[in-house]
């Protein structure tokens, strides 16, 4: 049996706790359809950088949002 320093307590007191200040920045899981070429592109970038491809996609989209980038579309 573990000593008192490492044993789980029967109860914990959270009355003095505070909210996570980063909770608003947590990621939210969604479902999104991305074409295979785009996924392959980011997977290639991931192997070059060592950063997971989903993180790279998030970084790219975050950069677009932070810098208020707009998509210029021209329909032919």
Residue 34 burial (10 A CB sphere; 0-12, 13-18, 19+)? exposed
* Residue 9, pLDDT score: 83
Reported pTM: 0.64
Q: What is the pLDDT of residues 3-44, one digit of tens each?
A: 556 678 888 988 889 888 877 778 888 999 999 999 999 999
The upper half-sphere exposure of residue 76, i.e. CA atoms within 13 Å in the direction of its Cβ, equals 0
């Amino acid at each position: 049996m573990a000593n008192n320093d490492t044993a789980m307590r029967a109860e914990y007191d959270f009355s003095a706790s505070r909210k996570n200040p980063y909770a608003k920045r947590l990621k939210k899981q969604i479902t999104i359809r991305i074409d295979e070429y785009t996924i392959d592109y980011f997977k290639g970038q991931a192997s070059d950088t060592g950063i997971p491809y989903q993180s790279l996609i998030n970084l790219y989209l975050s950069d677009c949002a932070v810098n208020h980038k707009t998509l210029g579309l021209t329909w032919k």
